[in-house]
Amino acid sequence: MRPERVAHLLGMPVDSAEIERLLSAVGFFVAPKDGRLAVQVPGWRPDVTREVDLIEEVARLKGYDAFPDELRPYRPGTVADAPEEQARARVRAGLARVGLLEARTLPLGPSDGPDSMTILNPLSAEEAHLRRRLLPGLVRRVEHNWANHNRDIQLFEVGTVFRRGSGSPVEEWTAVAAVLTGARRAPHWSERAKLPDMDIWDLKYHFELAVDLAAPGCSVEPATGGESGWVAVQRGGGAVMGWAGPLEADAPVWAAPLFGLEVRLALTSRAPVVYRPLPVQPAVEQDVALVLPPGVSAAQVAEVLRRAVGPLLERLEVFDEYRGPGIPAGHRGVAWHCTFRDPERTLREAEVKEALARGLAALEEELGVRRREG
């Protein structure tokens, strides 16, 4: 072990005598040798195999708060972050944006199944295995908050989980988990009524958000086999990537129901964001009311209209639905707001009427949708 290497990695010099004192206190045998330190590692520390492992021990024993706070000189690089780091950052930003607080739990805990990984030198019997899931650690954090009379809790964690593999000694991957309990939002002093608690539909919203952030391309489906909640499944009948549902915990009588979700982080790159220039030509806006037969959805109408009208139809929005006198039984009247625009020139009224007539004719022919009169 080289003292100058210690100073280089830690950013501050550490005397050889202090290094010897720190390492000797935890069972290492240290002796000076040719300007360096010869270190004999105790048998119960098989994780220490390199010089950098010894330097890490010195930093831990000295105390991280003893190191300076200022940034050391560095050279900025142009290499992009690794895909996993980009995915982690995307998930953290998305979940924090909806009000969840990030937690960091220990990757150690009790056995969580036959494929749990046992560590050789555990700190305690309750922390003798590597975690298979993130949710048990978050549930313990919720119970800790309940013990301190905190009722409204929304936590998430992005971390690594481990499992004994079949072809390799251990499998590990990054997962995203969250727990929700208590009020849907923070109370305000002016509100007299009790705020509603989060329910299963709040969980479904957060689960769909987490799946969209962590595993793009997966669909959220109801769990099968008598299991409650939902699962995230890769499209096309792929593997299950996540689960969400109610959780059991040691809860006080005043606690709200506890819900949780966990999703495996997929290292799939998202499609790049495409920017378009702001339009410089004026738009022509027109409202049209249609009568939809039973079984015809607004999405089907929009698809036919866009295909028949073509690129001149810039935007199509539903703004009203009507059932009652003047509409045949089982039918419904739906009003649309249509925006037409040509990026190169100003549209004429006759062109808009011709394009809309073309779309209405296609609707009547393919779906039996007609224009509502009067």
Closest by Cα among 184, 206, 202 to 193 = 184
Paired tokens of 324:
């009652």
Q: What residues pair up with 332 in beta bridges, in sequence order?
A: 292
Domains of the chain by range and CATH?
Answer: 3-66 (3.30.56.10), 83-264 (3.30.930.10), 284-371 (3.30.70.380)
Mind listing the pLDDT tens digit for each residue in 190-214?
877 788 899 999 999 999 999 999 9
State the pLDDT at residue 99: 92
Ranges of residues in the chain with a pLDDT under 50 are: none
Structure tokens at 57: 């021990």
Q: How crowded is the C-beta side of 35, counted as CA atoms within 13 Å?
A: 2
List the alpha helices (DSSP H) in 153-275.
200-214
**Ramachandran region, residue 56 (left: φ > 0; alpha: ψ -120 to 50; beta: rest):** alpha
Q: C-alpha 239: how far from its chain's center?
A: 18
Q: How far apart are the first and last CA of the chain?
A: 90
Q: Tell me the helices (H) and strands (E) count for the chain, helix number first.
A: 8, 16
Distance separating alpha carbons of residues 228 and 332, to the nearest angstrom: 36
Alpha-carbon distance 260 to 248, whole Å?
10
Q: Which tokens belong to 331?
A: 């039918």
CB 282 within 8 A of CB 349: no
Q: Is 107 within 8 Å of 159 (Cβ atoms)?
A: yes
Contact 261, 243 (CB under 8 A): yes
179 alpha carbon, distance to own chain's centre: 12
Helix ranges restricted to H, the chain? 3-10, 16-24, 51-62, 83-97, 135-147, 200-214, 298-309, 349-367
Quote the CA–CA distance of 267 and 174 in Å, as a whole number.
Answer: 10
What is the C-alpha separation between 343 and 93, in angstroms, rounded? 35
The per-residue pLDDT for 212 is 93
Question: Could you tell me where the DSSP H helices lie in 295-347?
Answer: 298-309
Q: What is the pLDDT of residue 168?
A: 66
The predicted pLDDT at position 167 comes to 65
pLDDT at 189: 80
Q: What residues form DSSP beta bridges with 288?
A: 336
